[in-house]
Amino acid sequence: QVCTQLCRRPCYCPWVPPRCPRGSPLVLDGCGCCKICARRLGEPCDFLHVCDQSQGLVCDYSSASAGTGATCNFEDDEEGCEVNGRVYRDGEVFQPSCKIQCQCLDGGFNCIPLCQEDVRLPTPDCPYPRRVEIPGKCCPEWICEAQDQHLLRDARAASPLLRFPCQEWGTEWSACSATCGVGFATRVSNQNRYCRLETQRRLCMVRPCPALPAAFPAVS
């Protein structure tokens, strides 16, 4: 009966199909007539405006009785997370880029870096280490810059005629690497003399570690 009331034959569809947001594919509407953008997780839906079944979404009418209308949800009521327009199931592991790997957990996601966050200090054989992006490689690598090149960059940076305005940009400091005692936090920032993105780290301490219990004296 619903199909008879909402679906008209023959189909009357726009000549140009709609442009869908990222992560929302073109699908047939509930009548099987016209191409529409599939509804994503949490978006309103009904008989005509169907959910993205490729992501395991169905139109959930459980909240419609409360007056809020039906929304797209996972068929098995599992919590998921949406990243860059794509929905991942709870527990699913994915890589938004080659530099990080994430896992969907309880509606959010946790990520770990795949590139080493090591810091290279100057040494006699490498007095001016610099981390650069290598074409064809995902993670930046350390190179040893010659002293004359380093001095030339210092001169350019110090010259007011060659300097250019640099808008400061940086991520928030990450959580401390240690749950107790001294650890370190990292961030990516361009707040340096060359206005170049680099990984920075600083010491941090969430709380002191509990003291080990004192050993009992030996009984003679």
Same fold, 1-76 and 81-113: no
pLDDT tens across 165-202, in order?
567 778 888 888 888 878 888 888 877 777 777 888 88
- What is the fold of 1-76? Omega-AgatoxinV (4.10.40)
* pLDDT tens digits, 43-97: 999 988 999 988 888 888 876 666 668 888 887 655 677 777 777 877 888 888 8
- pTM of the predicted structure, to 2 decimals: 0.36
pLDDT score recorded for residue 66: 60
Which whole number is the average pLDDT over 115-130?
80
- Please spell the DSSP secondary structure of the chain, one letter per residue: -HHHHH--SS----SSPPPPPTT--EEE-TTS-SEEEPB-TT-B--SSS-B-GGGTEEEE-TTGGGTS--EEEETT---EEEETTEEEETT-EEEEETTEEEEEETTEEEEEESS----PPPBTTBSSEEEEPPTT-SS-EEEE--HHHHHHHHHHHH-TTT-------BPPPPPPS-SSSEEEEEEEE--STT---EEEEEEEESSPPPPPPPPPPPP-
Delimit the domains of the chain by residue range. 1-76, 81-113, 117-146, 169-207
CATH class of 169-207: mainly beta
CATH architecture of the domain formed by 81-113: Ribbon (2.10)
